[in-house]
Every structure is written in C-alpha cells, then in structure tokens.
Amino acid sequence: MGICGLGRNFQLDPGHKADVTIDGVKFSCPKGFTNQTVSGFVTIRLMRNDKSKGEAGIFVMAPGKNINNEFIEEIATALASALLKKGPAYKWKREAGYEKVSKFETSGGGLLGFDGQKLVCFEYHLLSLDGKDVLVGQVFKLLQGEEAKRAFDDGLGGLRPDNIAGESHVIASLTGEKSSDIMGKPPAMIVLPKSIPRKN
C-alpha cells in the first residue's frame, strides 16, 4: 500500500459555480469543474476537473438501490470510460486507504483500475441524507504505461488535491458541514513508491 500526492498543494474550497439536481438531490458544482451526464446512468453527474486536461473529475450519484462491490465496479468503469474514453476492460482491485470524511457518511472505499495502459483511482463516500443514499467521490488517471502496471500490481494509489477540494465542496453542499472540516488535514509530505523508477 502506498500513497502518491502533493501535500503542499491542497487547496481551499473552490467556491460555488452552479446548482445541480438529480433525483431530487440538490448540490453545488464547484468552480473549476464542468458538469456532464454519464451515458446509461440517469442519476449520475460527472464534474470534470477543468485543470486536469480531461483526466480527473468528481461525481454525485443517487444510486436508488443496494450498493455492493459489483455495483461499485460498474459505476467506476462507467465513470472512467466517460472521463478517459472507452477502451479495454478495466481490472479493479480494492484500495486500502479509505477514511470517513463526513458525519453523514455510512460507508465508502476506493478502487484501483488498470486497463492495460492506464492506472485509474476511484474513491467514493456513501452519504445518508434524510433517508436517501447519495454517492459522492472522485475518479482520475494517475499513471500510464509500465509505471501504471507496476503501481497496480503493488496496489499503489494516489491523491489529487484539486479533486479533494472539489469533492469536499460538493459534500459540504449536500450535508451543510464546513468544507474545511470534510477536507481535513492534508498529508505533511509526499510518499512515492520505491518500485517505480522516476525519470529525472
């Protein structure tokens, strides 16, 4: 298990851009993100991170049914395909670094996906809001090529600070909590896996 991230670049709440409603659930799309639908899923909204060159986003979903591992993998595949264009099938494995971020959160988790070329990180939080389940999370491409394969084999995921700020903003807009409380304290340092060679 390992984490790759930029601890000093954690951002504050990006601010409100637009209201979005799905299945009676209203939330704020943060500044710096572009809202879009996801093919085949009426109750999902993917908000692309405008700074990521199409490789990162956050999402909100009103699942409307019981959530199990198969369903989470189906959602992860749909979001990764919507974000990064459909390609070979993803293999998914559980990521161990899950932490609860909201007092309204009942469960959550993370997956690492690999399609033979790209390593994708998928993280979700299941919120219970007035008896209705809402999934909020993020998806992003972390690595490409041989580095991606080695990281997937070793179970190494990562963080994307601007996605975390956007995700925290959305959760706060749903729960009424402070975005800064949801985001928590950023990591103090970068931890890079030793098994992946870095180019200088």
- The pTM score is 0.85
Q: Give yes or no for residue 55 having a pLDDT over 50.
A: yes
Domain boundaries, the chain: 2-180
43, 23 Cβ separation under 8 angstroms: yes
pLDDT digits (tens, 9 = 90+) for 86-102: 778 999 999 877 889 99
pLDDT digits (tens, 9 = 90+) for 124-151: 999 999 989 999 999 999 999 999 999 9
- Considering only the top CATH level, what class is 2-180? alpha beta
**CA atoms of 71 and 61, how far apart (whole Å):** 12
Six token digits for residue 144: 């490409």
User: How far are the Cα atoms of 31, 41, 105, 122 from residue 96, in angstroms, in the given order?
Assistant: 30, 27, 17, 12
pLDDT band, very low/low/confident/very high, at 65 (cuts 50, 70, 90):
confident
pLDDT digits (tens, 9 = 90+) for 15-44: 899 999 999 999 999 999 999 999 888 899
What is the structure's pLDDT at 91? 95
**CA atoms of 167 and 180, how far apart (whole Å):** 11
What is the structure's pLDDT at 184? 62
> One-letter amino acid identity for 4?
C
Angle at 125 between CA 99 and CA 8, to 5 degrees: 50
- In the chain, the percentage of residues whose pLDDT exceeds 70 is 86
Question: What is the CB neighbour count within 10 angstroms for residue 187?
Answer: 15
What is the structure's pLDDT at 181? 86
30: Cα within 13 Å, side-chain hemisphere: 28
| Cross-strand partners of 47 | 35, 58
Q: Give yes or no for residue 14 having a pLDDT over 50.
A: yes
